[in-house]
Amino acid sequence: MSLQQKFADRSAAIGVVGLGYVGLPLLLAYAKAGFRAVGIDIDPGKPAALLAGRSYIKHIPGEQVAEALASGKLEATTDFAVIKGLDAIILCVPTPLDEHFEPDLSYVVNTVEAVVPHMKPGQVLSLESTTYPGTTDEEVVTRVEKAGLAVGKDAFVVYSPEREDPGNPKFSATNIPKVVGGVTAECLAAGVALYESAFEKIVPVSSCKVAELTKLLENIYRAVNIGLVNELKVAADRMGIDIWEVIRAASTKPFGFTPFYPGPGLGGHCIPIDPFYLTWKAREYGVHTRFIELAGEINRGMPDYVVHRAMEALNSRGKPVKGSKVLLLGLAYKANVDDMRESPTFALLDGFKRLGAEVSYYDPHVPVVGPTREHMDWAGVRSVEWNEETLRAQDCVVISTHHAAFDLQQLADWSDLIIDTRNAMATIPTPDGLVVKA
């Protein structure tokens, strides 16, 4: 039976390596589609949770995991030896930046090197991690061929960028069009067969490099436009203009304008990071990507702007930042999820702490700060409780993330000063001077 036929009749076994915010939804999607779906992760806690029918990601209901487990289609392990019994291996591992804003491909390289010794002829190997153009050819193909597998004949290597949007109720793993590029025509055909068995729409492109750059363009588009509106926010504030009102008015134009919204900085594993993958690679070709770098500079500077606005507001009340109690609302990088990767709230915590404030946070989705590579000093810190006593004790409350769980009327009733970075208080009746937009 051909590989394509095995995908078509659901007799293929699909492996997903890396069971985080991208890998877990993908694994569950293949199990739901009727495939034997095998999750692999070096963190033993993740397979253990799945085998117990539990989800460890807030916006993915435990019922989905339990249902997949009960169907007999879901498996999870830390043992890479299971790869020899699979028909497709999909890699969903992090691609962070190092301290110099250069790509850190160690997760990709280490994972490929862990996978390749267990591969056999006739398998598809797909990389989904966001990266610079050329990564699949340079880091994946070379290692597969070094293991003695001819790409396009023995092994079919593809690149298909993830497009997950955690917490978005309109889009799930399978109803977002799936871009796929292959190393050869045979690789592309195998990759299309793999993904069309679970996704509603496939978008084949001519190469892995095209697919890699497609994902970077998507995220650079957002980063540059967010940088633009963040810069305009600062200018509008100086002019005494409400940038949110400006955006609402501009959004009434039925063509040529797409609204983007300012905030306290950029968060998540994509928008703050991915543009610099292209910046780094472009330097190899003698290209200086000025728009990208400027947008990154503006967005990274927004936490300092918020801290400065808070400092001005406290000073106007005769209170120095040093010794003031400052509460940050929202540790997650976006609303209604528990994902704190690259959250600008960490930069705000650091900024207020450096100025001597007594700083804390509240987030019902993140009750305790987990370990992170960049913010180890905050690991283990717990969210405060939401109550009148806690809020009245604060000199300043900063809305960093606008979770639906926040009771904004209570916040208005119990607070002395609110710094609103998300326009969250726009519809809440408040006395003059209570809310400062930043």
Mean pLDDT score, 209-235? 96
pTM of the entire structure? 0.91
Long-range contacts of 210-214 (CB under 8 A, 24+ apart): 210/133, 210/181, 211/159, 211/160, 211/161, 211/179, 211/180, 211/181, 212/131, 212/132, 212/133, 212/134, 212/135, 212/136, 212/159, 212/161, 212/181, 213/133, 213/278, 214/161, 214/179
- Kind of pairing, strands 435-437 and 396-399? unpaired
Share of the chain above pLDDT 70, in %: 100
Q: Where in the chain is the domain with CATH 3.40.50.720?
A: 3-208, 240-437
Q: Please indicate whether residue 101 or residue 25 has the higher confidence score (pLDDT).
A: 25
What is the DSSP track for 125-169? EEE-S---TTHIIIIIIHHHHHTTPPBTTTEEEEE------TT-T
Q: Taking the chain, what is the end-to-end CA distance rounded to the nearest angstrom?
A: 61
Dist. CA 13–CA 6, nearest whole Å: 9
What distances in angstroms separate CA 322 from CA 300, 313, 315, 361, 381, one per listed residue?
23, 13, 11, 17, 21
Residue type, 194: L
Residue 269 has pLDDT above 80, yes or no: no
Q: Residue 205: count other Cβ atoms within 10 Å of its Cβ.
A: 18
Q: Which residue has the tokens 């729409």?
A: 201
Residue 104 has pLDDT above 90, yes or no: yes
Q: Residue 134: count other Cβ atoms within 10 Å of its Cβ.
A: 14
Residue type, 71: S
Helices (H), 240-287: 243-250, 275-284
* Token reading at 396: 């300043």
The correct answer on CATH 3.40.50.720 for the domain covering 3-208 is: yes
| pLDDT reported for residue 100 | 80
The dihedral of CA 269, 273, 275, 281: what is its sign?
Answer: negative
pLDDT in tens, 277-331: 999 999 999 999 999 999 999 999 999 999 999 999 999 999 999 999 999 999 9
Mean pLDDT score, 74-103? 94
Q: How confident is the model at residue 169 (pLDDT cuts 50, 70, 90)?
A: confident
- Our answer to whether residue 92 is catalytic in this structure is no
Dist. CA 275–CA 218, nearest whole Å: 9
Using an 8 Å Cβ cutoff, are 88 and 115 in contact?
no
Using an 8 Å Cβ cutoff, are 73 and 37 in contact?
yes
Long-range contacts of 351-357 (CB under 8 A, 24+ apart): 351/303, 351/304, 351/306, 351/307, 352/307, 352/310, 352/321, 352/326, 352/328, 355/307, 355/311, 355/321, 355/322, 356/321, 356/322, 356/323, 357/321, 357/322, 357/323, 357/324, 357/325, 357/326
Mean pLDDT (the chain) is 95
Question: Number of C-alpha atoms within 13 angstroms, CB side, residue 261?
Answer: 11
Quick one: residue 399, left, alpha or beta (phi over 0 = left, psi -120 to 50 = alpha)? beta
| pLDDT reported for residue 58 | 87
Determine phi and psi for 98, rounding to 5 degrees: -85, -175
Q: Residue 416: count other Cβ atoms within 10 Å of its Cβ.
A: 17
Which of helix, strand or coil describes residue 36? strand
CATH code matching the domain that covers 240-437, chosen among 2.60.40.10, 1.10.8.350, 3.40.50.720, 2.40.10.340: 3.40.50.720
Mean pLDDT score, 155-176? 88
Residue in 92, 187, 270, 396 annotated catalytic: 270
pLDDT in tens, 131-163: 999 999 999 999 999 999 999 999 999 999 999
